[in-house]
Amino acid sequence: MSIDQQTSPLPTTTLPLRTAWLVLAVVVMADIMDLLDSSIANLAGPSIRADLGGGQVTVQWVLSAYTAAFALGLVASGRLGDLLGRRRLFLLGLTGFTLASLACGLAPDPAFLIVARTLQGLCGSVMIPQGMALMKIVFPPQHLRKALTPVGPLMGLTMVAGPILAGWLLHLDLFGSQWRSIFLINVPFGIAALLLGRRVLPHRGGEDPTARLDLTGIGLLTAASALLIVPLIQGRELGWPTWTYAMMAAAAALLALFVFSERRSEHPVITPSLLRKRSFVVGLMIVAGFYASLSAFVLVINLLLQLGLGWTPLRTGLTLIPWALGTAVAVLLAGAVLAEKLGRAGLRLGLAIAVIGLLALCWSTAHWGAGITIWNLAPALLLTGFGSGLVFVPLVDFILGDATTEEVGTGAGLLNAVQQFAGAIGVAAIGTVFFARVGHPSVHSYLAAAELVFAIAAVLNLLTLLLVGLLPEHAQQAHG
């Protein structure tokens, strides 16, 4: 759900249950397209740069453009659903996402691809929140949990299959498409989802014609975010000219203006009462550090294996299986058993294991050097993935544990936006550190740069682990 999504209970429709399941199928197809495009581009980054050219920041922009646009689009998409209709916006977002995927696959140069990725992220941010709202509308309460039960494992399977799919597509080089196939594959799935969605999605979905957009707040937040990301990505390559520091200072000033505007707004972007809840604020700080670390790790491990060691995309994708598998297994364990039983201790356990895994990666790259193999990396990647997977489920419980019915929509949207934006910042900032350490590219410089980034990611996870102590012992305690 998005930041401004309607928080009052959504009425169900009178759709037959069979049609409701078809609505679920459409929404899940859209979610899978979004999840794949936000992850497999990491693996294709070196291939994109080799084909289209561009500087070292090309890969950073291809990744950050999508995640930052997605995060910023969430700010307004929920309210727009209230105003314009969820069916209409879902289909509009799905159409735009499919066309933007086609544009990505046909991109003639880096600038075109970055613009297309930005549009893809914006369309995804319009599409995804409406899908969740539509599922709540078409399923009666007694069937909603049953309907959502397979979604988590399916997303986990997508996470595991993503690197393998990307590596396989790049290896096959269908019709000479090279990296373009990872975007073009969205087109037939998008068309199928559109055709089915037009038939089964409900025409009315709890719209609120009284909803209003805080255009001032949205504008300030968007401008501040852009002023922060641009210099972080471009600054190192350009030698950190004065304008980069001026842009970052302007970003801080606009964020301060945003806070001031929120206090005076009749329709604030962020529900003010949420910011007075310690578990919510601390939880978002943990999310920011954790996802910045995670996104930087995923970027750098792909760059190390492909650009540094010269591995093929397929070999790289197969190497990442232990990480993806560890993540998926831990998510399932946390959701089924551990999150409720361990509470805050589960978060500490997950972050501690992730730190150990990242430090093990540092040791592995330093010890094995250019002779490192898939099997040398597998134990550390499995630990890193398993630790990260233990964090996802309980972290959401803690952040939203003390949110009221009126706050939960805003809270869930802000959580999603912080995840995406922290990922973009992680790619921009830590990716810049990585390329600065590489200097003149060589196997040894890539290994040294990767060791540094793995250490930074471990420190970020350690800092978030310390913040966990500010949360209650169990998420449900927040209600008291």
On whether both 250 and 278 belong to a single domain, the answer is: no
The answer to whether the CB of 56 falls within 8 A of the CB of 82 is no
| Higher local confidence (pLDDT), 169 or 252 | 252
Segment 229-256 shows an average pLDDT of: 86
On whether both 244 and 103 belong to a single domain, the answer is: no
**Residue at 56 is within a domain:** yes
End position of a domain, from candidates 176, 199, 222: 199
On whether both 222 and 300 belong to a single domain, the answer is: no
- The mean pLDDT value of the chain amounts to 81
**261-305 pLDDT, tens digit each:** 877 777 777 777 777 788 888 888 998 899 889 888 888 998 899
**8-31 pLDDT, tens digit each:** 444 555 567 777 788 888 888 888
Check residue 1 and give its pLDDT: 36
Structure tokens at 80: 């727009």
On whether both 238 and 161 belong to a single domain, the answer is: no
Domain count, the chain: 3
What are the residues whose beta carbons fall under 8 Å from the beta carbon of 434, sequence distance 6 or more? Answer: 296, 299, 300, 303, 449, 450, 452, 453
pLDDT confidence tier of residue 405, bands split at 50, 70 and 90 = low
| SS3 per residue for the chain | CCCCCCCCCCCCCCCCHHHHHHHHHHHHHHHHHHHHHHHHHHHHHHHHHHHHCCCCHHHHHHHHHHHHHHHHHHHHHHHHHHHHCHHHHHHHHHHHHHHHHHHHHCCCCHHHHHHHHHHHHHHHHHHHHHHHHHHHHHCCHHHHHHHHCCHHHHHHHHHHHHHHHHHHHHHHCHHHCHHHHHHHCHHHHHHHHHHHHHHHCCCCCCCCCCCCCCHHHHHHHHHHHHHHHHHHHHHHHHCCCHHHHHHHHHHHHHHHHHHHHHHHCCCCCCCHHHHHCHHHHHHHHHHHHHHHHHHHHHHHHHHHHHHHCCCCHHHHHHHCHHHHHHHHHHHHHHHHHHHHHHCHHHHHHHHHHHHHHHHHHHHHHHHHHHHCCHHHHHHHHHHHHHHHHHHHHHHHHHHHCCCCCCCHHHHHHHHHHHHHHHHHHHHHHHHHHHHHHHCCCCHHHHHHHHHHHHHHHHHHHHHHHHHHHHCCCCHHHHHC
Check residue 146 and give its pLDDT: 66
Q: How far apart are CA 189 and CA 34, in angstroms?
A: 12
Structure tokens at 14: 């009178």
On whether both 227 and 351 belong to a single domain, the answer is: no
Check residue 30 and give its pLDDT: 86
On whether both 144 and 236 belong to a single domain, the answer is: no
**Residue at 456 is within a domain:** yes
**Residue at 71 is within a domain:** yes
Segment 236-263 shows an average pLDDT of: 86
On whether both 276 and 231 belong to a single domain, the answer is: no
End position of a domain, from candidates 153, 169, 199: 199
**Residue at 395 is within a domain:** yes
pLDDT confidence tier of residue 57, bands split at 50, 70 and 90 = confident
Residue 154 has pLDDT above 70, yes or no: no
Check residue 399 and give its pLDDT: 77
CATH code for the domain in which residue 357 is found: 1.20.1250.20
On whether both 337 and 370 belong to a single domain, the answer is: yes
On whether both 172 and 223 belong to a single domain, the answer is: no
CA distances from 288 to 46, 417, 424 (A): 26, 10, 10
Lowest mean pLDDT segment, chosen from 26-40, 218-232, 345-359, 364-378: 26-40
Residue 95 has pLDDT above 80, yes or no: yes
**Residue at 205 is within a domain:** no
Domain carrying residue 89: 1-199
Q: How far apart are CA 430 and CA 157, in angstroms?
A: 28
Sign of CA dihedral 162, 164, 165, 170: positive
The answer to whether the CB of 175 falls within 8 A of the CB of 82 is no
Segment 173-177 shows an average pLDDT of: 73
Check residue 253 and give its pLDDT: 93
Check residue 19 and give its pLDDT: 79
**Residue at 208 is within a domain:** no
**Residue at 209 is within a domain:** no
**Residue at 480 is within a domain:** no
| Higher local confidence (pLDDT), 236 or 149 | 236
On whether both 389 and 298 belong to a single domain, the answer is: yes
Within 10 Å of residue 210's Cβ, how many Cβ atoms? 7
On whether both 252 and 375 belong to a single domain, the answer is: no
On whether both 278 and 330 belong to a single domain, the answer is: yes
Check residue 5 and give its pLDDT: 42
